Amino acid sequence: MSRYPESVDVAIVGSGPTGAAYARILSEQVPRARVAMFEVGPTVSDPPGAHVKNIEDAEARAAAQRRSEGPGAGEATVDNPGAVKSGERRARPGTFLLSDGYRVDDEDGLPVAAFSSNVGGMAAHWTGACPRPGGSERIAFLPDMDELLDEADRLLGVTTDAFDAAPFTALVRERLAAVVDDGREPAAQVQRMPLAVRRREDGRLVWSGADVVLGDVTRGNPNFSLHDESLVTRVLVEDGRAAGVSVRDLRTGDVHEVRARFVVVAADALRTPQVLWASGIRPEALGRMLNDQTQVVYAARLRDVGPAAAAQVAASGALSEQSGVSWVPFTDEVPFHGQIMQLDASPVPLADDDPVIPGSIVGLGLFCAKDLQWEDRVEFTDQPDPYGMPAMRLRYTLTDRDRAVLERAREEIVRLAKAVGEPLGDRPFTMPLGASLHYQGTTRMGEVDDGRSVCGPDCEVWDVSGLFVAGNGVIPTATACNPTLTSVALAVRGARTIARKLSFV
């Protein structure tokens, strides 16, 4: 017998934060609705979708990461910027690279475009940063954007006080603010980074994954089911309306059809257009306006700090208990977003007689907004990828404006490094394109159906009623800030639309 239901009210493709947001809102607002979620990768954590950093045993955590690497499992990975400098194309643990088609001759491409395949998606591996968009990052035609962002904060469990006790966090912010804040609106001044994290009673940090978005209400919903190792190969369309999905059980190879009143494709910004393309759903804007964030990184050693302040604080997880995480917001005048946090060790070898005070080495990262271009896109070929889906080819080029902004970011990050301490290394390092993992725009939202967008303001695909898209690909603006909070906010809007329609069925 099939492990899948014959029919449901809503089929969700993908188990990351946005797919989880649809399941959560539907469980809260229409709990009688039957909802099935399909994920191509395995379950690697308990509860399903939890962040792997919450796995305390190092060997178990590494095993969960390997199981998330899909067709890249077993290949060498790297998890620090220093190793990237060698020029090797390596994915970070828990992810796998696009093996081919990542660059076309005479274009820049996205050489380290990466994916994860596991319940929870990339949210099982992310840094948890949830800044709000500002200026031109915001979607001007959505009047309820702030309320949607508030709801996304709730679903992701966003806080700003998790590192308030860190001894160096106020010092880092003060030094940054001294060179950044002048002339900025309060909302754009240096501040704590909003993070999807909470602190347990025993003091340990718990990072939010899709499990937090799903919440107890979804896990306890008898009408919700989660199916891992299940590849949705296409959306079924009848008479211009979504009618279900075709699913291949990766455990057995069997193919099943699951009928549905509504279908949500939330399979990341590259695989969501892939599913639509494979389904014959090919609006002109599909895959277009692909954009990522170029990323510049540097490091500095905090000056004038002693060991006493940090002696009683132990590091936990990938981010610092000593210097916290600070945020330099994007503005239209300074078009990059800054994230400043501790590095576990100096990227530059220090003398043996020059010991490192815990928390005193901070990493600085600036993310640049892309100059949006219609020709930047993901295309699909007749060749199969490792899952048997249409193989991808990325068309991607930096403009003169992109290069000018990137040069400004290099200059700015040196200025910020000097403000907080002593810069380490001769110059900042520009990460390979695709390293931010913040791919956007490929199923972009539009206010009207003018051929330049895939879906409307409620995330419903223009030409196929009942079909919704979710994820970073829906964001229509050029952003420099981490996109997860925005994409979850947009998923809330779409989920509420389905909930309203189901309430009348």
Q: Show which residues are catalytic.
A: 438
Closest Cα partner for 439 from 278, 272, 197, 313? 272
Separation of first and last alpha carbons in the chain: 29
Secondary structure letter of residue 162 according to DSSP: T
Number of other CB atoms surrounding residue 12 within 10 Å: 32
Alpha-carbon distance of 410 to 406, in angstroms, equals 6
Q: For every residue of 308-363, which 3-state class applies, written as one string? A: HHHCCCCCCCCCCCCCCEEEECCCCCCCEEEEEEECCCCCCCCCCCCCCCCCCEEE
State the amino acid at position 79 in one-letter form. D
H/E stretch holding 204: none
Tokens linked to 321: 């208990």
Answer for the pair 359, 325: CB distance below 8 angstroms, yes or no.
no
Strand order in the sheet with 195-199: 158-159, 195-199, 205-207
Closest Cα partner for 435 from 210, 213, 114? 114
State the amino acid at position 26 in one-letter form. L
State the amino acid at position 498 in one-letter form. I
Question: Residue 249 contacts by C-beta under 8 Å, 6 or more apart in sequence?
Answer: 2, 3, 4, 229, 230, 255, 256
Helices (H), 360-439: 400-420
Alpha-carbon distance of 150 to 4, in angstroms, equals 35
Beta strand 241-249 with 230-238 is antiparallel
Alpha-carbon distance of 147 to 313, in angstroms, equals 37
State the amino acid at position 94 in one-letter form. G
Q: Is 283 exposed, middle or buried (0-12, 13-18, 19+ CB in 10 A)?
A: buried
